[in-house]
Every structure is written in C-alpha cells, then in structure tokens.
A and B are shown apart, each in its own frame.
Chain A
Amino acid sequence: MNALQRHRKLDLVWASQPGFRGWFSSVNHTDLGRLFLVTAFFFFLIGGLLAMLIRTQLATPGSAFAGPEIYNQIFTMHGTIMMFLFAIPTFEGLAIYLLPKILGTRDLAFPRLTAYGYWCYVFGGAMLLASMVLGIAPDGGWFMYPPLTSSIYSPGINTDFWLIGITFVEISAIAAAVEITVTILKYRAPGMSLDKMPIFAWYALVTALMILTGFPPLILGSVLLELERAFGLPFFQADLGGDSLLWQHLFWLFGHPEVYIIFLPAAGVISTVLPVMCRTTLLGYGWIVAAAVALAFLSFGLWVHHMFTTGIPHMGLAFFSAASTLVAVPTGVQIFAWIGTMWKGRPELHLPMLHLLGFFVTFVIGGLTGVMVAVVPFDWQAHDTAFITAHLHYVLFGGFVFPMLAGIYYWLPHVTGRKRNFRLGELAFVLIFTGFHVTFLAMHWIGLMGQRRRISTYLPEDGWTTINLISSVGSFVIAIGFAIVILEVILNTASARRGGRNPWGAGTLEWAMSTPAPSYNFASLPHVTGRDPLTDDPKLPHALARGEGYLATPGRWRETLTVDIATGQPDFHVIYPGNTRLPILMAAVTGVFFLSLLLKFYWTVPVAVIGVAVLVWRWVWALGRTEDLPAQDIGHGIALPNAASVDRSPGWWGSLFLLTANATFFGSLLFGFAFLWTVAPGWPPPVWFTPSMAELALGIAGAGVSAVAVRMAIRTIRQGGQPMFAVGLGLVAVLILVAALGLLMLRAPSPDQHAYGATLLVLGGYGLFHACLTALMFAFLAARISRGFTSAARRAEFAIVRLWVDYLAIVGIFILLMAHLTGVTA
C-alpha cells in the first residue's frame, strides 16, 4: 500500500460528512477546533464592538450617546463576552485543534464530548447575544455582586440571562477541561514520556486542571444566586442569615484563577513559538513547567486581593497581599527564561515575533502595576478606578491577545496550508500595538485622578476630558488594526499560494503532517525519542505517511492507542465513535433545560432532564459490543488489549477528572455553609433541622451497601460470571439513599426564611441528584448484562460506575451527617 492509497482508506473512515451538514455531525478535533476558534473570534469582534461603544460614550464629558440603562448593559456584556465567550473558548479551540497533533495521536480522548461542548458554547452564547439584541442584557457588571443583582434590586430577566447563560457555557469549559486532561495524560505518541512532552501540552494540562478546580465555585455561586432570585432562598441576604460577601468569595475563588487560566495557554504559545523564532530550544524547560505548576497553586490563594476594601482584618489582608506579590516570582521565572532563550538563539523578526515583542512590553507593564495593586494601602486608593481598568487590559491584552496573535500567524500556514502573500500583518501589528498603548497608558493616570470604573459620564471640571479623548482615539486605531488582521486572514485562506511543510523549521509533531491537516492527522503514529522529534528526524513526515509508524493498517474503525502516563509506553488500543448528530441534539435538549429555567417554564424542566438522561443512555450504549475483541496488532511486533477490557479505561479517567470538578463544587458548597455559619450576621437560625436517627441510619446503610455491591459486581465479572444480583442489590441500596435524601429535603426547615434551611435544601438536592444518577448507572449495568454486552474482557463500565458509587457514598453520608448532626448539636 503506498502513501496515497493509505490516505484514501484512512480518510474514508475518518472524514466528516461533506459540506455544511458535516458541521453538525462532525466529532473530529480539527473541525471542532477550527469552529471553536472562529466562533470565539466572532465573539471577540462583538466584545470589541461593545468596547468601541464604551469609548465613544466616554470620549467627551456629558455624552448623550447612551444613558446608564444601556451603558450598564454594554460594559457588563463587554467583560462577560471577553472573559467567557472569547478568552476561555479560544484556549479550548486552540487546545482542541492542536493537542492531538502536537502529541502525535489522531484525536482527543472523547470526540463526541468535544462536539457537545462546542454546541453548548454556541447555544449558551446565543442566549446572551439574544438578550443583548432584545435590550435586556445583564447590567449588574460582569462580577454580578448581590444584593444589586438580587430580585429586589434587579427584578428583570437581565441577571437571569447571565446566571443561566454563563452556566450553560461553562459546561463546555468543564467538558473541554476533562477532555484535554485525559488526552494529555493518555493519548500521546508511543515513547513520549512526560519529560519529552511539548511544553504547550504542559501548559494546557495545568490550565485544564485549573478549569476543573476554578470554575465550580462560580457555577455554585450562579446556582445559589439563581435559586435566591427564582425561589427566594436567601443565601446572600444579610437579614435572613445570608451574606453578600459569600458571593464575592465564590466569585473571586473562580475569578482570580481565571486570570491565570487565560494567561497560561498564552504562555504555552510563547514557549512554543519563541524558540522557533530564535532558531533554538527553550531555556529551562523543567523550570518553566515548575513555574506553571507553582502559578496554578498560588493563584488559588490570592482571590481576596479583589476584596481588600471589604473590611477584612488587616493581618488577613497581609497574607493575601504576600501571596499576590509572590505570584510575580514564577511569572518572573518564565519571563527571564524566555529572554534567556532569545539570548541563546538568533531572534528573527518574523510576524509572530513582532507580536511576542508586543507581549513583552505590554505584559511586563501589566505585571508591574499588578504588583502595585497587590500592596494593600495602594489598592485602597486604586480599587474600582480607571487605574484597574488600565492594569487589567495590560495583563489580558499583553498576556493573552498578543501571544494569541503570534499563535494565529504562526499556525495559520498549518490551518490553511498556504503562505502569506501580502505584508498586511506588519501594518496591523503597528496599529494594534500603538493603539493599545495610546488607549490604556494614560488611563492609569485618570484613575489616580479619581475617575471611577463603570461611570457612564463625567463633568468637564473633573479634568479627565483630554485623556479620555486620547483613549477613545487609540481604541479606534486598535479596531482598524484588527480589521486588517481579519482582511489578511481572509485573503490568505482564499487566495494565497500553497505552502510547503513546516515553513518555520519547527521541531514539534504538528508539522509532521501535510497541511491543511488530514482528518486522521498521522497515517501512522510516530515513536518519539526527544522533545523535538522533527528536528531530530526531518524525514519523519514521509516515513509516517509511508506507514512506518504504529497503527499503519487502515481498518474499519477510527483507531488510536493510549500510553502509560509517566513512561509513554503504549498500553491500550482504542476505537473511537464515528460521526454523529447525538452531541448537537443533546446540547439542544440541554438548552431546553436552561431556557425553561430562564423563562420560568418549570413544567418543561423535567421533560428536558428526562430527555438528557435518555440521550446520555444512548450515548454510552453506543460504545458497547456483544463479543470480545482480541488484542490488536499495532505494528512493530506489539499487540495491545482493547481499552474496554481494562479497569482504567479512558472513561474511567474522564470520570475521575469530572469528579474532581464535582468535588470542588461540593467543597465550595461546604465552604459556603461554614462561611455563613461562622461569619454571616443573622445566625443562629430560628429553627433547626429535626434529626431522625432512623433516616440517618438507613441512608448510611444504603450508601455503604451500594459501595459493597459494586465491588461484588466487579469481582464476579472478572471471574467470568454475570453479576446481576450484585447490580440489583446496588440499585436497591441507592434507592434507599434516594429516600433518605429526599426526606431531608422535604424536612429542611423553612428554606425561604433562613440561609440555614436553604443550604440544607441545596445539600440534599445535590446528594439526591447524584443518587438518582447512580441509580441510573446501576440500571444501565443491569441492561448491559441482560443484553450480553458484558464479560471479563468487556468490564470497563463496572469500574467507572464504582467511581461514581464511591463518590455518592462519601458525599451522601457527609450530607446526611451534616443535616442530622447540626440538628442534634442545636
């Protein structure tokens, strides 16, 4: 078989449906990565347009362009879109497009999940856009502080669009994070041990883990605030045992890691592109990985620096001030390692390099002002002024937009397979760079002169007129720059000459394929022995195309292999699902769920929930088979067992990381409970929970028996038996737990009268949801057994269910104890 024949056979198996119909059924990471990036850029343009409106409004004092009602919507949506609909999805899109290619494999771990995440993003984003078009967009600021956003002070639907729409969009962030984590850990080319991983993969891994632990507090906060708005559960009302500060803690527990979730992928792009632009390798690879990990940990310890003016005791502030300044150290390590890389090599001023220089200048200024506002007394003056607006734009534009522009121009030849014809990009860079500093440098100063953030107008005698006008002019220069970028990308895609392989002379594997990338990435998978496989062996692309790597024989299925996490030794053979419309359908039904909540059509909520459950059932069912699959030959004398025949299957890893996010959510809920109890005014509650030892004992027994039952089932299936009895027992035990948690919810003392009862209701609901989910899993296993889908060599699903059962047992017992024991101690 020659390279062309192999290409045709592989493409037959891997290609998406032709034409626009393919968009809706594709699960291919190249397609979805591009869709993600284009959609994110579309939202960037909308967000940018809103920024233009803000600058138009502020250009002159006493502007009559927009009144506060509209202006508040504009700046709220500008921040919201840029953070949630542009920055995070851009990372997701880049990682989805790039990771399998740079790691030397054929697709991401869960292709259908990629598609589901994308459609949740599109539908959730569309909800927010719709609110804007209708003039009922969120208007409480992107940080949504209650009580301003509570139903008393914001009775309209505006705030609900934010809380529900953003939570919908966050599904895509969590889905992508699970996917990215499992892909990096398991789906790599054979031989690629952790220390040989391309640096971008390290950054993406750290970022994904941060999303898994950073987003749940925000999702919890949004759920609680929506519950307060819709059903009067007073989590944030001081007179009913709530506390508006709880929202601030939950929001910034997410909000600060968010800044690094945005910066780290950009740092990954810099660490990848910069050495290539300097004809050298990255200086201090190990140090940079350590710095990224340190940054991730530190970023969770400094959320309070957004709350320096809320009256927290000074010594408490000192701790967070120290953590906030400390975060400059790992950032410094990266900056100086990059400058060291430039000294080590011979920097060449290609277009991506210009944007990297723009990054250095801009981001360093943002970092320095960041250290300033980390110093508590200075923050007391600068907080909520234009100084902060300027600071955060230096950080985000410098630390994200410039690196991403460098990335766009670096990987554009990979996406389009073409060379740049025109030199428009250089002009665009000059305009964007100049425009940015004209807009934002002097803005620091008017902040110190007393201009607050979020005002829609000011007086001539305030003395801010000149600087505001300069800012506004600068912002239009940026806009012209971006218009030229778009023009150039379109011209390139449409008309430029075809380019050769690896135009930059890079060493990473994404360039070891023809461009634009074929649907299957690599005709055969490489064996990796170093960090820059393409530098070590420039002929590698041809060898792979000729089928000299692993999995070179095209079969009936989409195939790849997984590796041992640390060593990169191949361990299992994986068969992917093919094109399907299931993801978009499930995203649509998920959308019905969120839309019903938004419009308060509560009778359609259960319909949507059942719809999602049915689709999830079909989703998982489609992966099964009724006969054992023998070990598969992957070439070079290696045969691998199928991933469905082992306990640590990809689905197990995915569940593990999803549960990590889930546990963070639960932990945030416990934090909220403890915070309200100890810090909020208005405690103790007037009525406590009435404990019942019978309910407690039954619930704990149910949790314990279900955990034992799933273990019995695994033992039986391993020994070749069919564990119908154990699965049935598990189902009954979980149903008992369902009853105990349901009773807890029914008996929670007056949830609309005090935050204590409201918290118990939410805890009970959280447990009940997981109990129902686990019951569904036991029912699924029973159906699998009865249809002959299980055997000792098809047992992966049992191990996955065990994870969920164990999680349920732990949180279930915890919740029951917390409700009943707080009743006893009171």
Chain B
Amino acid sequence: MGSTVLTLNGCVGALSTVDPAGPAARTIATLWWVMLTGAIMIFALVVILVAASFRKRKGAIADRFWVLILGIAFPVTVLLALLGYGLFVGERLLQRQGADVVRVAAEGRQWDWQFSYDDLPGQTTAGVLHIPAGQPVDVAITSADVVHSFWVPRLAGKMDAIPGRVNVLRIEADTPGTFRGLSSEFSGRGYDNFTFDVVAHDAADWTLFLQGETE
C-alpha cells in the first residue's frame, strides 16, 4: 500500500521515514499509512457530526447513544485494534538472537559518533558506520557525555544514547548504499550538524572492510 502512495507524492528524501530502505522502517511506514487513513475517517466523522448539529430539524438522539456508543464503545474498539497492531509491530522490531546478526557499537559525544565492530576488534570509525546490506545489525548505543539519540530514518526508529547505559537497536538495510543518520536528542550548540552516515556494503565489500581494506 505504501509504495503506491509513495510514487504519487514527495515521500522521497535522504531522511524520509516514509521512503523506507529497511524492514523496520518499512513496517513503521506501513503503520503510519494505516493510522493516517483511520485518523482521516474519524476526523471526517467528527466534522460531519458537528456540522449536522446546525441543521434546523434533527432527529432526537438519546444521551446514552452519545456517551456510551460514540464516547466509549467506539474509541475502545478502535484503540484496542490499534494497540494490538502496535504491540505486534513492536515485538517484530525487537532484536532477537541469531547466528547471522552483526554486532556494532555506537558511542555519541558532543558532537560526533564513534563506531566500533565486534568483528573488527580495536578498529573504530568516526562519523561513518559500516554495515553489511541484507543482514540484521544490532547497534549497542551509549554516550560519553550528555544524552544523544541514534537515528537513521530510512532504516529504523531512533534509540537514545544515555551515559552509563547501553541500549541496543536492530537496523537492517535492504540494499547497499549510503544512508544519512542524525543525532536526534537536543545536545547543545553543535546539535544542528550532528549527523553521521551509514554505509551498507554488499558481501564482497563487507569482507574487504573486515579485512581493514576499505577507507
């Protein structure tokens, strides 16, 4: 559903959450389009009901209908459905154990990111995170100073970098390419330009990277 709408309007952008390039972002983009559709229908209902109250002759509607049916039963039904959907999606996005998961670490500081790799001990990269395409990657996120947030809009949602804690976020890129990332928790003067890149490599390039031959 998302992809047809995508081509109709300007969803495309290097930081667009509705131009997903990975499974997590795609699931959330679909969630957004479903919720937008529902919200427009509910909004239309409310506007029609308000407008209709200005008619001269109206059918008598019992108080109980307004309060119990429209006020309670209607939102409870909609919300339960949405909550179930949200919970299902949230569970699917969680990181799980698996042999093919690549583990990397991200440490934020005012105002750059340092990335390190379980498969490449002792090596760090600054401002660019390298990952293999088509493979789930767990990013262990922390901060060396204030609270930051790790966000690659086209790949997944964001996760905060909190001093003294490590949070793990699962990301995955469908195809090789460069994806822009942002630090998205206000961190003072250098916040505007606090960005980074995620480079997803194909299998051959990734092997080269692990041998320390890219860069």
B126 contacts which chain A residues (CB < 8 A)?
none
A310 contacts which chain B residues (CB < 8 A)?
160, 162, 167
Contact A450 B189 (CB under 8 A): no
Known: A147-B163, A284-B67. A141 touches B186 (CB 8 A): yes
Contact A329 B79 (CB under 8 A): yes
- Assembled-state Cα–Cα distance A357/B50 (Å): 8
Known: A147-B163, A357-B50, A450-B17. A336 touches B67 (CB 8 A): yes
Contact B70 A380 (CB under 8 A): no
Contact A456 B192 (CB under 8 A): yes
Contact A148 B184 (CB under 8 A): no
- Assembled-state Cα–Cα distance A815/B77 (Å): 47
- Assembled-state Cα–Cα distance A148/B111 (Å): 12
| Partner among B47, B83, B147, B192 whose Cβ is within 8 Å of the Cβ of A68 | B192
Mask, B87-111, CB within 8 Å of A = 1, is 1011101100000000000000010
- Assembled-state Cα–Cα distance A384/B47 (Å): 30
Q: Distance in Å from the Cβ of B71 to the closest Cβ of chain A?
A: 4
Contact A148 B10 (CB under 8 A): no
Contact B157 A377 (CB under 8 A): yes
Contact A360 B13 (CB under 8 A): no
**Interface flag for B159 (CB, 8 Å):** yes
A729 contacts which chain B residues (CB < 8 A)?
none
Q: Distance in Å from the Cβ of A152 to the closest Cβ of chain B?
A: 8
Mask, B12-26, CB within 8 Å of A = 1, is 011111100000010
Contact B50 A337 (CB under 8 A): no
Contact A238 B182 (CB under 8 A): no
**Which B residue sits closest to A349, measured CB to CB?**
B54
**Interface flag for B82 (CB, 8 Å):** yes
**Interface flag for A322 (CB, 8 Å):** yes
**Interface flag for B1 (CB, 8 Å):** no
- Assembled-state Cα–Cα distance A377/B25 (Å): 9
Of the stretches B38-46, B114-122, B200-208, the one at the interface is B38-46
Contact A239 B164 (CB under 8 A): yes
Interface residues of B in 166-196 (CB under 8 A from A): 167-168, 180, 182, 184-192
Mask, A436-469, CB within 8 Å of B = 1, is 0000000000001111111111100111000000
**Which B residue sits closest to A139, measured CB to CB?**
B188
**Interface flag for A762 (CB, 8 Å):** no
Contact A377 B90 (CB under 8 A): yes
**Interface flag for A396 (CB, 8 Å):** no
Interface residues of A in 485-505 (CB under 8 A from B): none
**Interface flag for A361 (CB, 8 Å):** yes
Of the stretches A24-32, A170-178, A313-321, the one at the interface is A313-321
**Interface flag for B210 (CB, 8 Å):** no
- Assembled-state Cα–Cα distance A463/B180 (Å): 14
**Interface flag for B199 (CB, 8 Å):** no
Mask, A759-792, CB within 8 Å of B = 1, is 0000000000000000000000000000000000
Known: A332-B72, A368-B42. A383 touches B162 (CB 8 A): no
Contact A147 B66 (CB under 8 A): no
- Most chain-A CB neighbours within 10 Å: which of B15, B76, B168? B15
Contact A377 B63 (CB under 8 A): no
Mask, A340-376, CB within 8 Å of B = 1, is 1011000100000000010011001100110110011
| Partner among B85, B162, B192 whose Cβ is within 8 Å of the Cβ of A311 | B162
A385 contacts which chain B residues (CB < 8 A)?
184
- Assembled-state Cα–Cα distance A139/B186 (Å): 11
| Partner among A153, A287, A682 whose Cβ is within 8 Å of the Cβ of B71 | A287
Contact A380 B86 (CB under 8 A): no
- Assembled-state Cα–Cα distance A681/B142 (Å): 13
**Interface flag for A421 (CB, 8 Å):** no
Please report the total number of B residues contacting A with Cβ < 8 Å: 75
**Which A residue sits closest to B183, measured CB to CB?**
A452
A245 contacts which chain B residues (CB < 8 A)?
162, 165
**Interface flag for A381 (CB, 8 Å):** yes
Contact A311 B167 (CB under 8 A): yes
- Assembled-state Cα–Cα distance A817/B104 (Å): 46
- Assembled-state Cα–Cα distance A454/B184 (Å): 9
Contact B91 A314 (CB under 8 A): yes
Known: A68-B192, A311-B165, A321-B86. A364 touches B71 (CB 8 A): no
B167 contacts which chain A residues (CB < 8 A)?
310-311
Contact B16 A452 (CB under 8 A): no
- Assembled-state Cα–Cα distance A130/B184 (Å): 31
Contact B153 A317 (CB under 8 A): no
Known: A377-B89, A380-B158, A384-B185. A463 touches B13 (CB 8 A): yes
**Interface flag for B197 (CB, 8 Å):** no
Please report the total number of A residues contacting B with Cβ < 8 Å: 82
Chain A-chain B contacts (Cβ-Cβ < 8 Å), number? 238
Mask, A270-298, CB within 8 Å of B = 1, is 00000000100001100100010000000
A371 contacts which chain B residues (CB < 8 A)?
35, 39, 79, 82
| Partner among B50, B76, B192 whose Cβ is within 8 Å of the Cβ of A329 | B76
- Assembled-state Cα–Cα distance A222/B28 (Å): 36
**Which B residue sits closest to A236, measured CB to CB?**
B163
Contact B90 A463 (CB under 8 A): no
- Assembled-state Cα–Cα distance A375/B11 (Å): 22
A458 contacts which chain B residues (CB < 8 A)?
192
**Interface flag for A434 (CB, 8 Å):** no
Contact B191 A455 (CB under 8 A): yes
B25 contacts which chain A residues (CB < 8 A)?
381
**Interface flag for A333 (CB, 8 Å):** yes
Contact A377 B147 (CB under 8 A): no
**Interface flag for A258 (CB, 8 Å):** no
B186 contacts which chain A residues (CB < 8 A)?
140-141, 145, 148, 384, 453-454
**Which A residue sits closest to B66, measured CB to CB?**
A340
B112 contacts which chain A residues (CB < 8 A)?
none
A461 contacts which chain B residues (CB < 8 A)?
14
B157 contacts which chain A residues (CB < 8 A)?
309, 377, 379-381, 383
Contact A325 B83 (CB under 8 A): yes
- Assembled-state Cα–Cα distance A452/B39 (Å): 23
- Assembled-state Cα–Cα distance A15/B13 (Å): 66
Q: Distance in Å from the Cβ of B52 to the closest Cβ of chain A?
A: 8
Q: Distance in Å from the Cβ of A386 to the closest Cβ of chain B?
A: 11
Q: Distance in Å from the Cβ of B112 to the closest Cβ of chain A?
A: 15
Contact A380 B185 (CB under 8 A): no
- Assembled-state Cα–Cα distance A326/B54 (Å): 31
- Assembled-state Cα–Cα distance A382/B157 (Å): 8
Contact A72 B188 (CB under 8 A): yes
Contact B54 A309 (CB under 8 A): no
Q: A334-B71, A364-B43, A371-B79 given. 17 additional CB < 8 A pairs?
A: A147-B147, A238-B163, A238-B165, A278-B53, A283-B63, A318-B87, A332-B72, A336-B66, A337-B66, A337-B67, A340-B65, A375-B86, A376-B86, A377-B90, A379-B157, A450-B13, A680-B164
Interchain Cβ contacts under 8 Å between A and B, 26 examples: A68-B190, A244-B147, A283-B63, A283-B66, A284-B66, A309-B158, A314-B90, A317-B90, A326-B79, A329-B72, A329-B75, A329-B76, A337-B71, A340-B61, A340-B70, A360-B50, A372-B32, A377-B93, A380-B157, A381-B17, A381-B158, A449-B16, A449-B18, A451-B15, A452-B182, A462-B15
Interface residues of B (CB under 8 A from A): 10-11, 13-18, 25, 27-28, 31-32, 35, 39, 42-43, 46-47, 49-50, 52-54, 58, 61, 63, 65-67, 70-72, 74-76, 79, 82-83, 85-87, 89-91, 93-94, 110, 145-147, 149, 153, 156-160, 162-165, 167-168, 180, 182, 184-192
* Shortest Cβ-Cβ A-B pairs, 7 listed: A380-B157, A450-B15, A238-B164, A340-B66, A311-B167, A342-B53, A333-B71
